[in-house]
Amino acid sequence: MSLYVLILAGGSGERFWPLSRKSRPKQLLALFGEETLLEGTLRRLDGLVPPQNILILTNADQEAGVRTLAKALPPENIVAEPAKRDTAAAIALGVGWVAARNPDATMAVLPADHLIHDAVGFQKTLRVAAAAARETGELVTIGIPPTWACPGFGYIEVGDTLEIAGATSGPPVHDVVRFREKPNAELAEQFLRQGNFRWNAGMFIWTIPAIRAALDAHAPELGAFVSRMGAGENFPSLLADVFPTLPKISIDYAVMEKAARVLMVESAFDWDDVGSWTAIAKYLPELGGGNVSNTALTALDADNNIVFSKLKRRVALLGVSDLIIVETDDAILVCNRHEAEKIKHLIARVPAELQ
Amino acid sequence: MSLYVLILAGGSGERFWPLSRKSRPKQLLALFGEETLLEGTLRRLDGLVPPQNILILTNADQEAGVRTLAKALPPENIVAEPAKRDTAAAIALGVGWVAARNPDATMAVLPADHLIHDAVGFQKTLRVAAAAARETGELVTIGIPPTWACPGFGYIEVGDTLEIAGATSGPPVHDVVRFREKPNAELAEQFLRQGNFRWNAGMFIWTIPAIRAALDAHAPELGAFVSRMGAGENFPSLLADVFPTLPKISIDYAVMEKAARVLMVESAFDWDDVGSWTAIAKYLPELGGGNVSNTALTALDADNNIVFSKLKRRVALLGVSDLIIVETDDAILVCNRHEAEKIKHLIARVPAELQ
């Protein structure tokens, strides 16, 4: 099988400020141990996809950081978008890039910044998804079984289970009934109770002909862009001149929600999008009193604090609770953990060189 | 006039951890601008007392730091106590040191770690106190007019005003009615209302004969130690062998409260003992919302925080109030400002090398 992978590594990662910066977003951070999330994403593909079949899409701010981490890839397999155009255009670019190399290939789209420990389960899931994509010619997505009624994710409502001849021993494959946008808390509870909803993690697998047909049908401007790339037009000028003019729309809105039929493979791996400092608390050592920290901690009458020290200095807490404390070479954040979602407003107030 | 000064620079300064350490207590910190409190204490004596007449008493932990800051003094004028014996023994050592040089001298005792900006008013007060000590032969103390009903200080109850021939233009000199220990809050309020109470700042002026007579009468073991020093006995062996055996008692208990008569000169200068992080808040720039900081601050929904960064890094606050945040090269403190008095218990829990 000839599998290609597009890794989307252009996220801004404001929610991990001050550790994250414009030039060093979440996927370039070693939040858990020594490995960055991007490195983990590449490592999980090891043995499944050869490096020359992997394309990383990033942006100018982050390009240098990505190149440093992805040295195993040919340099031309790392591309910086000249403008931020949301996921549909980014994916069209990736589809065109693969189409120019192998117009019949199968291709996966993966975010660079998710935390997944089970590489074996991950590869098994991708193999099933690829088999389903090839066997049916449909668009395939990966669904994560929800562990709680999170209102922050999109959901996938699933229907019948399908038999895929090429993947009889892997996780189940379902028909997608419909995609559901981020629900309110009540609806999310209902999704969880009903049991036939999965989280949409933004991972897709399809054949090049299938995604091209879908783009041509539902997003013709993007389909035309893919055709020009697939036909071998000059890539640098397409990137510099045409890409920035593409519509700014997500792949969910542009294609997935409009496609006649979509399949979903259930993930056979652990998954976390670790979207904020509060989300990483469960991966840091618990040092008593509900305080979690990646560094040495001394606490007195202090509980439920999240402490992250890039410099691994000792942090001492006295009489404080529910704080997020982050320190880096040049900035320190002390934040009420119940107001962490306002970090982006805080960042807007710090000098540009610290953003 | 031949004025000598003993500077007591042996305080532990735990309350400014993590900026302060055993080897770097309050008097060795530059809490306000570039000058340490000890340097300020020496600067205020400039022109009033020649460096060779100043003795600094410190301890082994702090000796190196003191020597670095007090380079203007002859090296033998900096003495490290081999053991902590409270103020009476430390002062006896200073009295003996002066007596060996000039048995009729006048001598002032000053703490190293107070914040006083008005050096002119300070010298004027010392001159009046020295004149009163010489003219009356009594022990003289300096009283600070209280600005609030602080229960944390000892108080001096004052009586009649005296005329001192040698100091007609300076601050008033009073008879001390009695010394009062730290009052409770209610009593402190009463002291403030009555108007005839002053704070005891631990500053004393006396002639050598006067303090020797008082020590001989009320603390004969200390008086005998002074006599041996005054007689020129070998100083290193007195310090190493006898000093550690002296009674551990404060000068207030040992002498001042027992003396038949004590005079008090009212301070003609601003004064603050800056005893804790909360006490320095009023000297740091106010950066909006009641947040004070010595470094660049970005605050959102955050107020009444005290921020001190030794490294002058940016600190960002989100949704937090009433915190003390201090960062140094090797430790960070985040503390509820209403629980700052517990810092000593916190320090007991950090590794020895950070204490």
Nearest CA in chain A to B317: A334
- CA distance between the termini of chain A: 43
Tens of pLDDT, residue by residue over A321-347, are 999 999 999 999 999 999 998 999 999
Place of tokens 């009033």: B48
Cβ–Cβ below 8 Å for B334 and A334: yes
Share of chain A above pLDDT 90, in %: 89
Cβ–Cβ below 8 Å for A350 and B316: yes
Structural contact between residues B344 and B13, judged by C-beta atoms closer than 8 angstroms: no
Q: Which chain B positions have a beta carbon within 8 Å of A327's beta carbon?
A: 327, 332
| Exposure b/e, A135-172, CB count within 10 A at least 16 = b | bbebbbbbbbebeebbeebbbbbbeeebebeebeebbb
pLDDT band at B11 (very low <50, low <70, confident <90, very high): confident
Count the alpha carbons within 13 Å of B225 in the hemisphere toward its beta carbon: 27
Cβ–Cβ below 8 Å for B333 and A327: no
Q: Which chain B positions have a beta carbon within 8 Å of A18's beta carbon?
A: 316
Residues of B with CB under 8 A from a CB of A: 17-18, 296, 298, 300-301, 305, 309, 313-320, 323, 325, 327, 329-336, 338-340, 342-343, 345-346, 349-351, 354
Structural contact between residues A32 and A22, judged by C-beta atoms closer than 8 angstroms: no
Tens of pLDDT, residue by residue over B107-144, are 999 999 999 999 999 999 999 999 999 999 999 999 99
Share of chain B above pLDDT 70, in %: 100
DSSP state of A13: -
**Dihedral sign of CA atoms B155, B59, B280, B349 in order:** negative
Nearest CA in chain A to B324: A318
Whether residue A1 has pLDDT greater than 60? no
Q: Which chain B positions have a beta carbon within 8 Å of A320's beta carbon?
A: 323, 334-336
* Closest Cβ opposite residue B332 in set A300, A316, A342: A316
Q: Which residues contact B176 (CB under 8 A, 6 or more apart)?
A: B141, B156, B157, B158, B159, B261, B262, B263, B264
Report ipTM (2 d.p.). Answer: 0.84
Nearest CA in chain A to B322: A320
Cβ–Cβ below 8 Å for B349 and A319: no
**CA-CA distances (angstroms) from residue A131 to A3, A43, A122, A256, B35?**
11, 22, 14, 19, 73
* Closest Cβ opposite residue A334 in set B317, B340, B354: B317
Q: Determine the Cα–Cα distance for residues B341 and B346; give it in Å rounded to an integer.
A: 10
Nearest CA in chain B to A335: B318
CA A25 from chain centre, in angstroms, equals: 12
* Distance to chain B for A316, nearest Cα, Å: 5
Cβ–Cβ below 8 Å for B315 and A334: yes
Tens of pLDDT, residue by residue over A254-305, are 999 999 999 999 999 999 988 889 988 988 999 999 999 999 999 999 999 9
Tens of pLDDT, residue by residue over B180-190, are 999 999 999 99
- As a whole number, mean pLDDT of residues B202-219 equals 98
Tens of pLDDT, residue by residue over A10-61, are 877 788 999 999 888 999 998 888 899 999 999 999 999 999 999 999 999 9
CA A240 from chain centre, in angstroms, equals: 25
Look over chain B and give the mean of its residue pLDDT values, rounded to a whole number.
95
- Coil/strand/helix, residue A16: helix
Whether residue B332 has pLDDT greater than 70? yes
Cβ–Cβ below 8 Å for A318 and B342: yes
Helix/strand/coil percent split, chain A, to 5: 35, 25, 35
Query: What is the model's pTM?
Result: 0.85
Beta A155-162 vs A173-180: how paired, if at all? antiparallel
Q: Determine the Cα–Cα distance for residues B153 and B15; give it in Å rounded to an integer.
A: 16
What is the largest distance, in Å, between two alpha-carbon atoms of chain A? Answer: 66
Tens of pLDDT, residue by residue over A131-149, are 999 999 999 999 999 999 9
Residue-level pLDDT at A39:
97
Lowest mean pLDDT of A1-15, A89-103, A109-123, A305-319, name the range.
A1-15
Q: What is the DSSP string of A119-178?
A: HHHHHHHHHHHHHHHHHH--EEEEEEPPSS--TTS-EEEEEEEE--TT-SSSS-EEEEEE
Cβ–Cβ below 8 Å for A331 and B323: no
Tokens, residue B344: 């000593």
Q: Which chain B positions have a beta carbon within 8 Å of A305's beta carbon?
A: 334
**CA-CA distances (angstroms) from residue B41 to A8, A93, B45, B186, B337?**
62, 70, 7, 33, 28
Q: Which chain A positions have a beta carbon within 8 Å of B338's beta carbon?
A: 319
Cβ–Cβ below 8 Å for B349 and A298: yes
Tens of pLDDT, residue by residue over A153-187, are 999 999 999 998 877 788 999 999 999 999 999 99
* Distance to chain A for B289, nearest Cα, Å: 15
Cβ–Cβ below 8 Å for B319 and A342: yes
pLDDT band at B7 (very low <50, low <70, confident <90, very high): very high
Cβ–Cβ below 8 Å for B319 and A339: yes
**Dihedral sign of CA atoms B284, B290, B293, B298 in order:** negative
Partnered with residue B323 across adjacent β-strands are B336
Q: Determine the Cα–Cα distance for residues A204 and A130; give it in Å rounded to an integer.
A: 9
Structural contact between residues B145 and B266, judged by C-beta atoms closer than 8 angstroms: yes
Tell me which of B308, B320, B337 to substitute to probe the interface with A (most A C-beta atoms closer than 10 Å).
B320
Tens of pLDDT, residue by residue over B293-315, are 999 999 999 999 999 999 999 99
Whether residue B12 has pLDDT greater than 80? no
* Closest Cβ opposite residue B336 in set A18, A319, A343: A319
Nearest CA in chain B to A323: B320
pLDDT band at B166 (very low <50, low <70, confident <90, very high): confident
Tens of pLDDT, residue by residue over A109-134, are 999 999 999 999 999 999 999 999 99
Candidates A17, A10, A95; CA nearest to A60 is A10
Cβ–Cβ below 8 Å for A313 and B332: yes
Lowest mean pLDDT of B164-173, B195-204, B225-234, B303-312, name the range.
B164-173
* Distance to chain A for B188, nearest Cα, Å: 28
Residue-level pLDDT at A317:
98
Whether residue B254 has pLDDT greater than 60? yes
Tokens, residue A227: 């055709």
In three state form, how does the secondary structure of chain B look? CCEEEEEECCCCCHHHCCCCECCECHHHCCCECCECHHHHHHHCCCCCCCHHHEEEEEEHHHHHHHHHHCCCCCHHHEEEECCCCHHHHHHHHHHHHHHCCCCCCEEEEEECCCECCCHHHHHHHHHHHHHHHHHHCCEEEEEECCCCCCCCCCEEEEEEEECCCCCCCCCCEEEEEEEECCCCHHHHHHHHHHCCEEEEEEEEEEEHHHHHHHHHHHCHHHHHHHHHHHCCCCHHHHHHHHHHHCCCCCHHHHHHCCCCCEEEEECCCCCECCCCHHHHHHHCCECCCCCEECCCEEEECCECCEEEECCCCEEEEECCECEEEEECCCEEEEEEHHHHHHHHHHHCCCCHHHC
* Distance to chain A for B24, nearest Cα, Å: 18
Residues of A with CB under 8 A from a CB of B: 17-18, 296, 298, 300-301, 305, 309, 313-320, 323, 325, 327, 329-336, 338-340, 342-343, 345-346, 349-351, 354
Q: Determine the Cα–Cα distance for residues B277 and B18; give it in Å rounded to an integer.
A: 11
* Distance to chain A for B190, nearest Cα, Å: 32
Helices B86-99, B208-218: inter-axial angle, 10-degree rounding: 140
Residue-level pLDDT at B167:
76
Residue-level pLDDT at A262:
98
Look over chain A and give the mean of its residue pLDDT values, rounded to a whole number.
95
Between A and B, how many residue pairs show a Cβ–Cβ distance under 8 A?
125
**The CA-based dihedral angle spanning residues A146, A149, A150, A151, taken in that order and rounded to the nearest 10 degrees:** 130
Structural domains of chain A in order of their starting residue, each with its CATH number: 3-266 (3.90.550.10), 277-354 (no CATH)
Query: Side chain identity at A18, as an amino acid letter?
Result: P
Share of chain A above pLDDT 70, in %: 100
For residue A333, give the H/E element and its range: strand A331-336
